[in-house]
Amino acid sequence: MSESHANFIDLNDYPVEWWNNLLALAHDIMQNPADYAQVCKGKIMATLFYEPSTRTQMSFQTAMLRLGGNIIGFDNPSSSSVSKGENLKDTTKIVSSYADVLVIRHPLAGSAKAAALSADCPVINAGDGGHLHPTQTLTDLLTLKELKGTLEGLTIGFCGDLKNGRTVHSLLKAMKCYPKNRFVLISTKELGIPAYLRDMLHAAGAQFAEMQSLEEAIGTLDVLYMTRIQRERFSSEMEYLRQKDVYVLDHAKMLRAKSDLVVLHPLPRVDEISTEVDEDPRAVYFQQAKFGVYIRMALIKTLLDANAAAPALLPGRTVPGAVCSNEKCITNSEHYLPKSFAGLGDILECDYCDERTLM
Amino acid sequence: MSESHANFIDLNDYPVEWWNNLLALAHDIMQNPADYAQVCKGKIMATLFYEPSTRTQMSFQTAMLRLGGNIIGFDNPSSSSVSKGENLKDTTKIVSSYADVLVIRHPLAGSAKAAALSADCPVINAGDGGHLHPTQTLTDLLTLKELKGTLEGLTIGFCGDLKNGRTVHSLLKAMKCYPKNRFVLISTKELGIPAYLRDMLHAAGAQFAEMQSLEEAIGTLDVLYMTRIQRERFSSEMEYLRQKDVYVLDHAKMLRAKSDLVVLHPLPRVDEISTEVDEDPRAVYFQQAKFGVYIRMALIKTLLDANAAAPALLPGRTVPGAVCSNEKCITNSEHYLPKSFAGLGDILECDYCDERTLM
Amino acid sequence: MSESHANFIDLNDYPVEWWNNLLALAHDIMQNPADYAQVCKGKIMATLFYEPSTRTQMSFQTAMLRLGGNIIGFDNPSSSSVSKGENLKDTTKIVSSYADVLVIRHPLAGSAKAAALSADCPVINAGDGGHLHPTQTLTDLLTLKELKGTLEGLTIGFCGDLKNGRTVHSLLKAMKCYPKNRFVLISTKELGIPAYLRDMLHAAGAQFAEMQSLEEAIGTLDVLYMTRIQRERFSSEMEYLRQKDVYVLDHAKMLRAKSDLVVLHPLPRVDEISTEVDEDPRAVYFQQAKFGVYIRMALIKTLLDANAAAPALLPGRTVPGAVCSNEKCITNSEHYLPKSFAGLGDILECDYCDERTLM
């Protein structure tokens, strides 16, 4: 039964205290790697990557190997028999009977939760389409905790495409749970954060400002979280040419920044951070990638150790006739899945992908 | 020399007693996994998958890792340099000098035997085209032995495309070696078992019946082995629409079945078993996949331990001018292979693919 | 810092004594494998194969596993996120923070050196386009040392496409460093060794002869190093048809060879060695592939043990405005790389790809 083991689908399935325990464990692993080198001996992790993400997959594999465990998996669905019409349930059911922990990446929202419904072992969400990528957020939290010494009272700038960037949304949601943080949202008007996030920040009483110039904002920041704006996201080619350099971090802009700024980036970066910045000690995005291994080690160990009650996967209810309106929701591709919604008046929120549908 | 180590190419290369020993070893591994967790320490298994079969490959990899061994291999011939004109002999020769046991899957019949001819370590056949897939049959035998408690006196239904299904043919041949089994062959007229198999069952004095309705047959069965009928196998689109539901196992049909029926399927299933059946405790196909790991553990251990005389790979003789008439036989692609036939009057049976050619 | 650890980019970065130590270590590993079965326990090797080379990759993986280490990596750049615009520097930087040693294969010349510039762990060159493949050369040296007992005083024939064959060029350069070797270069006129190599042999006072007939040359040889001539390398189709058999090694030609000849081939072979030769004990190309595992074990162990000063990666100097004239040089694809040249009068030699550019 899927309820009998812990999964890691969404950061919000766990309280902040659980996050903090994980960060503390990751810190201890960094300090004392030898103490953890055998804790997963004899265990197998399967990575089911329905879309390629080489770096995320290697980060998980490294984490498991550093814990003394073993790895199986696939990363190339087109050459894989799992692409030949087998549903997600069957693949999950079978592979979870081979392995002790299952890491899934899939292009559809809610797929990791769907996998957890039938898996016989813990499932970790390594990215479900544009929906969640919670181990990236854990990585970001660990990076800030280790390099700033605290997750409180920070002025955090987010720069780039804030409308579509799931890593930005997740980190914003996470950091608003820690007191006294202040957010500076740096983007074009068209690519600002979604309305629901703005509402959430207001409701949480979070301090935040929206700005259009990285150059103006950078001097106030303790943390700068860079993301890319894809060319096609600008309203026109002319707008792209006019604005593209505004959101590129270079040496000149770094001159305006505090001496203890840290610059994060979920990677891969393309042009949004000039390579000249790499030598700046405030550029910590490569360290950030390495922190990703430690937090994944902490996560794998925690889930394999878990024997406490796990969060319910589908806490909502069945609503006759209701279907999720998100065409990229896994429930619209894998029809055997039980549909489940949280009801908010005449709005239904899908338990898989969090999309809200008006009844 | 290839003769100096044991291979596993065809179930029929070994006597029933050997099969039974393997089933007993798999049972012991299941009961006492810790006793076997290090038996392949320091050993390497190479999986050479010339066509993708993710699940079979992961099953073998899991088996080797659970024995404490290591894994290398490929699963994507199109992106592999082995596809660039290197013959099977050279690849086998080289990889078998790296590894301690070699698992091969290949689209051509007889390829595993061809590989064994030049390999410097034991070779396991993980599927050679439409010819054999003997570790699936071992998996099926272990599933029946564990869940029915015996391999004798069972009434076993095979449903679906019995003409083309190699897993069906193999399991039929294997189960007729155990006493008092009765076979119920459920299919359309066009997709019944091949004539040679019918002859073999007659010759063995096996009891069997051919039926067209799963609904009628199901009540008499101890075991139901489901396989898919592909749409294009029906004689016409009209016939497909008329008959497609007849060979789909659903909750309604399960109501007619014995309480101790077990339903097997080699997987992947597509539509031939409704997902509603998955919750039925008689649906054991996911357990069956897990049994596949244990029987492969037993097989790998047995072959690596083996020092007894191995079965001859090419017991037949060279016949001047004779070539195998099966265009999918490996001897018709890899021309350096010595041709070898068993002679049956004026019929030659290919030692690689078992095809019979009239001289 | 990249300078703080040893890399293996080019055989010529190390003195002949270092090569000899590596050969001696490989010999000891062959004799006493159990002594080395745990020396890399807890270490991770990443194989970054930007172009597929299944056999080379499996050879490295086997080497690391036989030393007790673990492996991660990719072999299929088209299905890998690293192909999505991430530069080599970032991928190297990140993966080298996961792993303890990094093995790279890449289609562009100088790529392994470029990777070493940013890597946080030792980098091994597993082939950088048509430029170098130094672990193949080490493999060849080990094969000769083990099977001929010496690397001195040998008459070594190279046969095939000597113009384009990088394995031939490398082995020639290496063997001329040992005394009293004599080289017989067997090829068409068009496919003889490049002028710079001929100059190098003259300068080193090496004895060598150029011949067009393998049949005539073979009787004088202690070693025959075979390579392929691709059909399109001949000056015309007529020329191909006339000459193709001249450069094929078969049983008839072997009859003219010494009884203690050894025949090497970097593999894969296509038609240039007839399969009938495989049974000849003088055909050692399969043994050669196995020696490749042992020399890679020695190399990995040596680099992971290294704490001595490593060779400088870019010993040359920056020349304002100068760019490498080799369009397949990595510096012409990855523009952030510092250009660096050795100056030879008005000729600049690129520190990455060794191409000479006239200023």
Same domain, B15 and B127: yes
Same domain, C87 and C163: no
Which secondary structure element, helix H or strand E, spans residue B45, and what is its range? strand B44-49
CB atoms inside a 10 Å sphere around CB A329: 27
Residue A309: per-residue pLDDT: 62
| Residue in chain A lying closest to B292 (CA) | A98
Residue B12: per-residue pLDDT: 93
Could you give the number of structural domains in chain C? Answer: 3
Same domain, A151 and A244: yes
- Does a structural domain hold residue B6? no
Note whether B80 contacts C290, CB cutoff 8 Å.
no
Residue C78: per-residue pLDDT: 64
Same domain, C219 and C199: yes
Same domain, B34 and B110: yes
Q: Are strands C155-159 and C101-106 parallel, antiparallel or unpaired?
A: unpaired
- Who contacts A264 (Cβ-Cβ below 8 Å, separation ≥6)? A140, A143, A144, A223, A224, A225, A226, A284, A285, A288
Same domain, A298 and A321: no
ipTM: 0.94
The per-residue DSSP string of B187-255 comes to: --STTSPPHHHHHHHHHTT-EEEEES-HHHHGGG-SEEEE----GGGSSSHHHHHHHGGGG-B-HHHHT
- Does a structural domain hold residue B47? yes
Chains that touch C (3 or more CB pairs under 8 A): A, B
CA of A356 vs chain B CAs: smallest distance (Å): 28
- Does a structural domain hold residue B343? yes
CA of A324 vs chain B CAs: smallest distance (Å): 21
- Paired with B226 in beta bridges are B159
Residue C136: per-residue pLDDT: 97
Note whether B89 contacts C289, CB cutoff 8 Å.
no
Return d(Cα A100, Cα B293) in angstroms, integer: 14
Which CATH number covers residue A122? 3.40.50.1370
User: A312, A283, A314, A9: which is closest to A138 by C-alpha?
Assistant: A9
Cβ atoms of residues A312 and A76 within 8 Å = no
User: C73, C66, C17: which is closest to C50 by C-alpha?
Assistant: C73
Note whether B275 contacts A87, CB cutoff 8 Å.
yes
Same domain, A167 and A277: yes
- Residue B322 CB-density burial (10 A; 0-12 exposed, 13-18 middle, 19+ buried): middle
Return d(Cα A103, Cα A81) in angstroms, integer: 18
Cβ atoms of residues C184 and C190 within 8 Å = no
Note whether A99 contacts B55, CB cutoff 8 Å.
no
**Predicted model pTM:** 0.95
Residue C270: per-residue pLDDT: 85
Of B58, B268, B293, the CB nearest to A90: B268
Residue C4: per-residue pLDDT: 65
Q: What is the mean pLDDT of residues C30-56?
A: 95
Same domain, C128 and C165: no
- Reading the block at residue C212, the tokens are 């067009």
Q: What is the mean pLDDT of residues B262-280?
A: 94
How far, in Å, are A156, A248, A254, A311, B55 from residue A273 at the CA level? 17, 6, 11, 39, 41
- A328 vs C85 pLDDT, higher one: A328
Residue C241: per-residue pLDDT: 84
Q: What is the mean pLDDT of residues C272-299?
A: 97
Which percentage of chain C shows pLDDT scores above 90? 80
- Does a structural domain hold residue A55? yes
Average pLDDT per 10 consecutive residues for chain A, totaling 359 residues:
75 96 98 98 96 92 98 78 77 96 96 96 95 96 98 98 92 96 95 93 94 96 93 81 88 98 94 95 98 98 82 90 94 95 89 91
Q: Which stretches within chain B are classed as H helix?
A: 16-31, 54-66, 88-98, 111-118, 134-148, 166-175, 195-203, 214-217, 237-243, 251-254, 285-305
Looking at residue B15, what DSSP letter applies? -
SS3 C44: strand
Residue C335: per-residue pLDDT: 92
- C83 vs C327 pLDDT, higher one: C327
- Does a structural domain hold residue C63? yes
- Reading the block at residue C134, the tokens are 């130094």
Return d(Cα C230, Cα C196) in angstroms, integer: 22
- Does a structural domain hold residue C6? no
Same domain, B213 and B265: yes
Same domain, B147 and B283: yes
Of C37, C61, C79, the CB nearest to B42: C37
User: B160, B141, B56, B125: which is closest to B353 by C-alpha?
Assistant: B125
Q: What is the mean pLDDT of residues B55-80?
A: 90
Chain A positions touching C98 (Cβ under 8 A) are 58-59, 62, 290, 293
| Residue in chain C lying closest to B83 (CA) | C54
- Paired with B269 in beta bridges are none
Note whether C53 contacts B81, CB cutoff 8 Å.
yes
Same domain, B140 and B257: yes
What is the span of the domain harbouring residue C153? 134-289
Residue B84: per-residue pLDDT: 61
CA of C127 vs chain A CAs: smallest distance (Å): 21
- Reading the block at residue B178, the tokens are 């155990």
Chain C positions touching A75 (Cβ under 8 A) are 74, 76, 79-80
Query: pLDDT for B121-165, tens place per residue?
Result: 999 999 999 899 999 999 999 999 999 999 999 999 999 999 988
Residue C1: per-residue pLDDT: 38
| Residue B229 scores a pLDDT above 90 | no
Let me know the angle formed at the C-alpha of C318 by C313 and C319, rounded to the nearest 5 degrees: 145
Of B75, B268, B278, the CB nearest to A86: B268
Same domain, C53 and C189: no
User: A223, A140, A137, A227: which is closest to A182 by C-alpha?
Assistant: A223
Of C37, C59, C270, the CB nearest to B98: C59
Q: What are phi and psi of A189, to 5 degrees?
A: -60, -40
| Residue in chain B lying closest to C80 (CA) | B79
